[in-house]
């Protein structure tokens, strides 16, 4: 019957061959054409952002003002410098005078004691955007700080609280090396295992489509 594709006709086989070749090579072409839309923030930058966000909330809660002075004391622990640097940067951005505990400044107006409870990076779930899409992973960055703010001279406690911040986004697996910082363990995390279905099914689909394309190619030529 005219206008319909018979399974034995050369015309139909050419269509099937074209479809099989497109199925095989289209993902490769697409991956070459699609550029990364953005460069994600590093894990260290997200940790620093979370700490500074907490400091901003403290400032708003007790109505600290530009020109006020604060002595910051962070409990000794590994990577303490990250917390001190982030807090100092935030106070300076707010045009406040900030001192560290080892400066022994007794005439500052306030004292902020900080106990870091958690600074953590996790890669939660690995997946692909479609069968042949870019392999991606969900990233979770968490910070939890316990702190006490008091007046330096009187010792009056103005605020005593635990704050938590969690940031979640999605990044490409091939960007992991760029968001982690060499030699800084707090910015590293283990990748989750590959999705079992993607790992097993995808190779069979590719092999099957390739086999169909080869069969049709030789069958049409003969």
- The answer to whether residues 80 and 42 touch, using CB atoms and an 8 Å cutoff, is no
Tell whether 83 is covered by a domain: yes
Q: CB of 113 within 8 A of CB of 99? A: no
pLDDT above 50 (res 7): no
Average pLDDT, the chain: 80
How would you classify the pairing of strands 135-151 and 97-100? unpaired
For residues 5 and 11, the answer to whether their CB atoms sit within 8 Å is: yes
Q: 7 lies in a domain?
A: no
* Rg of the Cα atoms in the chain: 29
Indicate whether 94 belongs to any domain: yes
- pLDDT single digits (tens) 105-163: 567 999 999 999 999 999 998 887 655 568 899 999 999 999 999 999 999 999 999 99
Q: How confident is the model at residue 9 (pLDDT cuts 50, 70, 90)?
A: low
Q: Please write the tens of the pLDDT for every residue from 14-53.
A: 555 555 555 555 554 444 444 445 689 999 999 999 999 9
Q: In the chain, how many domains are there? A: 1
Q: Is residue 1 part of a domain?
A: no
Residue 15 is predicted with a pLDDT of 55
CB 151 within 8 A of CB 198: no
- Residue 166 domain-assigned (yes or no): yes
Residue range(s) defining the domain that contains residue 154: 12-33+40-221
């Amino acid at each position: 019957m005219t206008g319909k594709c018979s399974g034995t006709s050369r015309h139909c086989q050419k269509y099937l061959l074209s479809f099989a070749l497109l199925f095989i090579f289209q993902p490769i072409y697409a991956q070459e054409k699609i550029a990364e839309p953005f460069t994600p923030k590093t894990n260290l930058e997200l940790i620093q952002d979370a700490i500074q966000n907490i400091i901003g909330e403290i400032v708003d809660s007790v109505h600290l003002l530009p020109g006020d002075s604060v002595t910051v004391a962070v409990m000794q622990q590994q990577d303490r410098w990250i917390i001190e640097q982030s807090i100092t940067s935030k106070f300076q951005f707010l045009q406040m005078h900030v001192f560290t505990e080892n400066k022994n400044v007794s005439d500052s107006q306030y004292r902020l004691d900080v106990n870091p409870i958690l600074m953590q990076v996790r890669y939660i779930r690995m997946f692909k955007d479609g069968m042949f899409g870019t392999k991606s992973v969900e990233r979770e960055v968490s910070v939890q700080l316990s702190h006490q703010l008091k007046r330096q001279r009187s010792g009056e406690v103005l605020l005593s609280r635990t704050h938590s911040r969690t940031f979640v986004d999605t990044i490409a697996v091939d960007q992991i090396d760029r968001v982690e910082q060499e030699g800084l363990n707090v910015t590293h995390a283990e990748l989750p295992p590959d999705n079992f279905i993607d790992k097993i099914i995808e190779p069979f689909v590719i092999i099957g489509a390739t086999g169909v394309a080869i069969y049709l190619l030789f069958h049409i030529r003969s």
